[in-house]
């Protein structure tokens, strides 16, 4: 699913597959600045360019420009009906009388980048791939309400639903990037899984794949004569560097046109130059320090620290989130308010939060038997220090700075935090393996609040492809989340979401740290169009370069 920045590392095994669908190395360079080229500098590489398994932001950006959805959520982010959705591969659709089926008609001018026509069988094949248990797409759970997909004729794909739900249309139209059956249909699911990181994309979108040099660059070109019109940009290049400082230097030096993680000092620097401007909008992500409820090396046992609700709440009370957010972001972020963002209509922006109260935090820790050792400044119980390790990726400067502030604030109440800063892929692997005490991570929630709520349920903790890596489990929260995401009444839905957020907020499975704005640094030679909250890159085909 595209609503979260998901991370589950898939091991790419070396397996013989048809040469035509493997990524070619090429001899081009990411510094090719022919007319109409736009360069995006980023600190993270793609994990794969095979849509059902993409989990990184860069992978998502590239594939969403190469492949198409049947329809796309509008800028209002409505997902509970088909209101506001924009036509993509589907040029029209119709509901059955009982609302248990939707027929999508494929645009007859749509073509795959190799010239084949797009058809209903491609849609049926795509559903089969996304829901295959062996392939294990993270989107599989979001598609559980769809019983089957059939081809009424060569251009009409019909989705059949098990029951009515508020997100029927969204799940059918906007959760799956349609795949070419004639390219991938000859491979078994386990073969697709093994070579997913090396599959060359063949899409129907307004850009086609050129090359991918791991940890260096990804390039795509405009698809002339595309059924939706040729893009305003001739070539897009993602230039990959592991350092945020290097990324901004590349932007200001004129070797890149866009960087999407500008910090306050970068905004100040941009104001001093006539070459870079700032494009900002509310964001669709939140960052948190999540607790592991299970021992990393003995997952059948509760965590020796974080299985205690009172201890988790005490740690939350010891953290001044407003001061930390101001320190790291200035005015470019807000303190987190839960596993959600303020832009969603179902978010209660006034919901009660665990207060910053270090004195009360110290009292709770005392009551739990954690006594301060005056010589070390760290609390102990039965000779064991109150200490844990915090996992975070090196690629995020914001999280690195936030981790240091967390260290300092928790030390002030006698808690020792050791930082495990790892390269992004290594950190993601540890996260997926649940091999951590606590983790400093972020999720991009995209267009709908539903997956952001469901990812904290017990099902998401117990399922193999679930994203509840900390194994938080609450029957009360599960019931509230299920009710909220299945309600067909808007007012009732808002009330139920509020209840669910209240329960998880009180349980403190994480400290909700910050909700950042999207802050782009853009060279002035680039003409932009409207920037979406959930994915700023959606409109790149409508940008142009002088």
How high is the pLDDT of residue 402? 97
Indicate the pLDDT class of residue 464, thresholds 50, 70 and 90.
Answer: low
Whether 424 has a pLDDT exceeding 90, the answer reads no
Whether 33 has a pLDDT exceeding 60, the answer reads no
Alpha-carbon gap, residue 294 to 279, rounded angstroms? 42
Alpha-carbon gap, residue 310 to 60, rounded angstroms? 38
Indicate the pLDDT class of residue 10, thresholds 50, 70 and 90.
Answer: very low
Whether 182 has a pLDDT exceeding 70, the answer reads yes
How high is the pLDDT of residue 447? 84
Indicate the pLDDT class of residue 196, thresholds 50, 70 and 90.
Answer: confident
Residue labelled with tokens 């909008």: 281
Whether 18 has a pLDDT exceeding 50, the answer reads no
Of the ranges 84-88, 191-195, 206-210, which one carries the lowest mean pLDDT score? 191-195
Top pLDDT among 20 and 416 is at 416
Whether 465 has a pLDDT exceeding 80, the answer reads no
How high is the pLDDT of residue 345? 84
> How do residues 502-528 score in pLDDT, each as one tens digit?
999 999 999 999 999 999 999 999 999
Select from 83, 85, 49, 46 the least CA-distant residue to 69.
Answer: 85
Alpha-carbon gap, residue 178 to 431, rounded angstroms? 29
> How do residues 258-309 score in pLDDT, each as one tens digit?
999 999 999 999 999 989 999 998 888 999 999 999 999 888 999 999 999 9
Query: Do the beta carbons of residue 470 and residue 322 sit within 8 Å?
Result: no
How would you classify the pairing of strands 384-385 and 379-381?
antiparallel
Top pLDDT among 15 and 546 is at 546
Whether 20 has a pLDDT exceeding 90, the answer reads no
How high is the pLDDT of residue 27? 36
> How do residues 364-421 score in pLDDT, each as one tens digit?
999 999 999 999 999 999 999 999 999 999 888 899 999 999 999 999 999 999 999 9
How high is the pLDDT of residue 351? 87
Select from 442, 441, 447 the least CA-distant residue to 346.
Answer: 447
Per DSSP, helices labelled H in 24-165 are 57-66, 120-130
Percentage above 90 pLDDT, the chain: 77
How would you classify the pairing of strands 438-444 and 387-393?
parallel
Alpha-carbon gap, residue 234 to 35, rounded angstroms? 7
Alpha-carbon gap, residue 447 to 76, rounded angstroms? 9
Alpha-carbon gap, residue 399 to 44, rounded angstroms? 14
How high is the pLDDT of residue 5? 37
Select from 368, 457, 451, 443 the least CA-distant residue to 413.
Answer: 368
DSSP H or E stretch at residue 310 = helix 309-317
Indicate the pLDDT class of residue 34, thresholds 50, 70 and 90.
Answer: low
Q: Which SS3 state, helix, strand or coil, does residue 261 take? A: strand
Q: Which SS3 state, helix, strand or coil, does residue 291 take? A: strand
């Amino acid at each position: 699913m595209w609503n979260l920045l998901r991370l589950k590392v898939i091991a790419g095994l070396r397996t013989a597959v048809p040469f035509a669908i493997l990524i070619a190395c090429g001899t081009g360079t990411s510094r090719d600045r022919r007319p109409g080229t736009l360069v995006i500098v980023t600190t993270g590489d793609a994990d794969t360019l095979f849509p059902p398994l993409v989990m990184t932001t860069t992978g998502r950006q590239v594939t969403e420009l190469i492949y198409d959805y049947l329809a796309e959520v509008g800028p209002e982010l409505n997902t509970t009906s088909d209101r506001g959705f924009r036509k993509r591969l589907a040029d029209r659709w119709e509901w059955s009388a009982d609302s248990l089926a939707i027929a999508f008609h494929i645009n007859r001018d749509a073509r795959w980048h190799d010239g084949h026509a797009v058809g209903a069988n491609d849609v049926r094949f795509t559903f089969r791939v996304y829901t295959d248990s062996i392939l294990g797409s993270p989107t599989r759970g979001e598609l559980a309400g769809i019983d089957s997909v059939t081809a009424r004729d060569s251009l009409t794909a019909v989705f059949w639903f098990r029951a009515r739900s508020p997100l029927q249309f969204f799940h059918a139209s906007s959760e799956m990037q349609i795949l070419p059956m004639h390219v991938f249909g000859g491979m078994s699911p386990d073969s697709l899984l093994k070579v997913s990181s090396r599959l060359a994309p063949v899409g129907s979108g307004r850009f086609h794949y050129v090359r991918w040099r791991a940890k260096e660059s990804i390039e795509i070109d405009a698809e002339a004569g595309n059924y939706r019109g040729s893009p305003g940009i001739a070539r897009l290049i993602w230039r990959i560097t592991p350092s945020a400082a290097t990324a901004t230097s590349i932007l200001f030096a004129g070797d890149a046109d866009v960087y999407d993680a500008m910090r306050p000092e970068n905004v100040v620097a941009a104001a001093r130059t006539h070459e870079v401007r700032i494009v900002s909008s509310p964001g669709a992500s939140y960052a948190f320090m999540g607790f592991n409820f299970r021992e990393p090396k003995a997952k059948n046992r509760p965590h020796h620290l974080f299985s205690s609700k009172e201890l988790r709440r005490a740690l939350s009370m010891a953290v001044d989130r407003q001061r930390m957010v101001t320190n790291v972001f200035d005015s470019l972020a807000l303190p987190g308010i839960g596993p959600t963002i303020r832009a969603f209509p179902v978010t209660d922006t006034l919901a009660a939060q665990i207060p910053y109260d270090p004195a009360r935090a110290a009292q709770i820790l005392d009551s739990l038997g954690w006594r301060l050792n005056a010589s070390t400044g760290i609390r102990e119980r039965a000779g064991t220090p109150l200490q844990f390790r915090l996992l975070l990726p090196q690629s995020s400067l914001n999280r690195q700075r936030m981790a240091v502030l967390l260290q300092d604030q928790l030390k002030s109440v006698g808690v020792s935090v050791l930082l495990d800063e790892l390269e992004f892929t290594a950190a993601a692997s540890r996260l997926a393996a649940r091999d951590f005490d606590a983790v400093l991570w972020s999720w991009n929630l995209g267009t709908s609040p539903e997956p952001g709520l469901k990812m904290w349920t017990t099902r998401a903790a117990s399922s193999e492809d679930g994203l509840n890596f900390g194994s938080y489990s609450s029957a009360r929260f599960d019931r509230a989340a299920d009710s909220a995401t299945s309600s067909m009444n808007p007012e009732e839905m808002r009330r139920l979401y509020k209840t669910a957020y209240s329960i998880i907020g009180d349980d403190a499975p994480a400290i909700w740290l910050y909700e950042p704005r999207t802050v782009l640094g853009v060279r002035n030679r680039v003409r932009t169009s409207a920037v979406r909250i959930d994915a700023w890159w959606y409109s790149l085909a409508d940008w142009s370069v002088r």
